[in-house]
Amino acid sequence: MSEDKIGWHGTTILGVRKNGRVVVAGDGQVSLGQTVIKPNARKVRRLGDGSVIGGFAGATADAFTLFERLERKLEQHNGALMRAAVELAKDWRTDKFLRNLEAMMIVADRDVTLILTGNGDVLEPASGVAAIGSGGNFALSAATAIFEYEEDSETIARKAMKIAADVCVYTNENLTVETIETL
């Protein structure tokens, strides 16, 4: 199989909002085909003045381009995440260059958690849980099952990411976790 048919895999990003805290956690694995290329990638970071956290799934260079664009939108809209995300989604959907970017993002601030996609989607999960990436469905299922029984959002995220890493071959336990107090 040629390299262009193999494809990059290896991201699980999870957002959990509960009891006055929002957490975004991401694993560190990057794989090419069946090979782990990097076990400690940092896919979660603080944006702007640090009041927004985000994690990405997809092509790394594309995700960093989107992070930079989102930071500019946050500056333009005085840190209003929802407004900045909607404006980014409009650009992402209509701009010829951005339209070709292959990434998704989970972003969160004190007020809202959002999933951003290249289709122009700005999705706010109905529950306090959002997930994307190769192991996203595993992490989402685990966090949803734990959510009712565990009070701490970071504990929920860490336990769910551990379960995702146990099930998804493209996810590892090398986590980056960022937290914002929402109260």
Token pair belonging to 36: 């782990």
pLDDT given at position 8 = 45
pLDDT given at position 99 = 62
CATH class of 3-181: alpha beta
Which residue, among 60, 63, 78, 44, has the nearest Cα to 175 in the 3D structure? 44
What's the rounded Cα separation, in Å, for the pair 42 and 19? 26
| 140 CA to centre of own chain | 12
pLDDT given at position 3 = 39
pLDDT given at position 1 = 36
pLDDT given at position 164 = 97
pLDDT given at position 85 = 94
- DSSP assignment of 162-175: HHHHHH-TT--S--
Extents of the domains making up the chain: 3-181
Going from the C-alpha of 146 to that of each of 41, 72, 73, 165, 182, the distances in angstroms are 26, 36, 34, 16, 20
**Tens of pLDDT, residues 139-170:** 999 999 999 999 999 999 999 999 999 999 99
Going from the C-alpha of 171 to that of each of 40, 66, 73, 124, 133, the distances in angstroms are 11, 22, 31, 24, 9
What's the rounded Cα separation, in Å, for the pair 52 and 54? 7
- Amino acid at residue number 94: T
Residue 116 has phi, psi (to 5 degrees) of -115, 135
> Pick the catalytic residue: 11, 12, 113, 171?
11
Residues of the chain with pLDDT under 50: 1-8
Residue 54 has phi, psi (to 5 degrees) of -150, 155
pLDDT given at position 154 = 98
182 is catalytic: no
pLDDT given at position 89 = 87
Beta-strand (E) ranges in 19-157? 21-26, 30-32, 35-38, 44-47, 52-58, 103-108, 113-116, 122-123, 129-133
